[in-house]
Amino acid sequence: MDANMFMQHFINALGLGSLYGLIAIGYTMVYGILRLINFAHGDIFMLGAYFVFFATVQYKLPWALGAFIAVSGTIVCGLLVDRVAYRPLRGAPRISALISAIGVSFFIENLAVVVFSGMPRPVVQPPLLMEAFSLGGIRLVPLAIMVPAISFIIVAALLWMIYRTKSGLAMRSISFDIETTRLMGVSVDRIIAMAFAIGSGLAAIAGIMWALRYPRVEPFMGIMPGFKAFIAAVFGGIGSVPGAMLGGLSLGFVEIMSVAFFPRLSGYRDAFAFLLLVVILLVKPTGLMGEKLEDKI
């Protein structure tokens, strides 16, 4: 493989990995606070992709406006899931919330089949993002650069929020000791809602960019990316936001590079992600940047 070819794969991996990372952040934030694996998160991602499809392809709105509507709509859905499916179970054993999460996931998927129809639908990519250009011998489209760039900017902003603002302080505090945090005057439900809103917003942004990269939407499109992002979150150390991004990038690189270097194994592409999960759980169960885990589901 020559250097140019490698660079193409590298940028491709960077794009895919940062999308996994964006989705993984939603898993990791909710897990960090509630010790809940939000299985519906992949479906929230799917909703983001559908909303942007409807806004821009169906209703022909400009992409920027469509993206804004999609992100807002997805955040509302994420908050609704928390309110309806998780908040009533806050005091219940954790396994109840987990089962509720699986139920919500199936519900959203099948509701999407009913409402959006099960047929995959093509997304029309904005031509501006698809005009190929050459950069030092590598053929690129603007989208390939845009995806990781937007992702990194968002993650930087999120890290600033978590480490430099009062709400971020409350989030970091809740993840360790809910009761003491409440005693300091923090409304825990509000902070949890905030975590769901941020996670859903990032999933929507990932969904939009996913729909641009792989230009079609279908009701079950969230399942595989959702699983992989979950693996990315575990690999990076669940509960850690930088870890989720790192895990996402690692997964993107493993997936793209394994196929690039061993084209014959391309059929096993998805299996690599799960292999990574098995390996990390055996070697370092807390993940790359994870802190000590107490009891975990």
Partner 1 sequence: MERKQPMLEIKNLTVWYGSINAVKGIDVSINRGEIVTLIGANGAGKSSTIRAIAGLVKGCGGSIAFTGKDGRVTQLLGKQPEAMVRQGIAISPEGRRILPHLTTEENLLLGAYTLSDKAQISENMEYAYSLFPRLKERRRQKGGTLSGGEQQMLAVGRSLMSSPELLMLDEPSLGLAPILVDEVFEIIKTINTEGRTILLVEQNALAALKIAAKAYVLEVGSITIQGTGGELLANPKVKEAYLGG
Find the shortest distance in angstroms from Cβ 74 to partner 1: 28
Q: How many CB atoms lie within 10 A of CB 84?
A: 11
Of residues 108, 129, 131, 127, the one with CA closest to residue 51: 108
241-261 and 3-34 helices cross at what angle (nearest 10)?
Answer: 150
3-state SS class at 133: strand
- What's the closest the beta carbon of residue 222 comes to partner 1, in angstroms? 32
Tell whether residue 28 is a contact of partner 1 (CB under 8 A): no
What character string, x for contact with partner 1 (CB under 8 A) and - otherwise, covers 238-277? ----------------------------------------
Please name every residue paired with 138 in a beta bridge, in sequence order, or none if there are none.
Answer: 135
Residue 216, classed as helix, strand or coil, is strand
> Can residue 183 be called a binding residue for partner 1 (CB under 8 A)?
yes
Token code pair at residue 256:
């793209």
Which of 80, 180, 266, 279 binds partner 1 (CB under 8 A)? It is 180
- Considering CB under 8 A, how many residues would be counted as binding partner 1? 17
| The token pair that represents 15 in the structure block | 């794009």
Helix pair angle (241-261, 142-164), 10° resolution: 160
Instruction: Kindly state whether residue 192 participates in binding partner 1, applying the rule CB under 8 A.
Output: no
Q: Is 164 in the site for partner 1 (CB under 8 A)?
A: no
Compose the 217-236 pattern: x for residues touching partner 1 by CB under 8 A, - for all others: --------------------
Give the residue with the Cβ less far from partner 1, 218 or 291: 291
Tell me which stretch binds partner 1 (CB under 8 A): 81-89, 179-187, 208-216, 242-250: 179-187
Length of the chain: 297
Question: How wide is the angle at C-alpha 75 spanned by C-alphas 106 and 246, nearest 5°?
Answer: 85
Is 195 in a helix, a strand, or coil? helix
CA distance 179 to 37: 21
87 binds partner 1 (CB under 8 A): no
Residue 160 class from Cβ within 10 Å (0-12 exposed, 13-18 middle, 19+ buried)? exposed
Q: Which of 115, 132, 184, 282 binds partner 1 (CB under 8 A)?
A: 184
74 forms part of the interface with partner 1 (CB under 8 A): no
Please pick, from the candidates 172, 197, 218, 223, the single residue that binds partner 1 as defined by CB under 8 A: 172
Q: How far is the CB of 179 from partner 1 (least distance, A)?
A: 7
Tell whether residue 160 is a contact of partner 1 (CB under 8 A).
no
Question: Residue numbers of the site for partner 1 (CB under 8 A)?
Answer: 166, 169-170, 172-173, 176-177, 179-187, 291
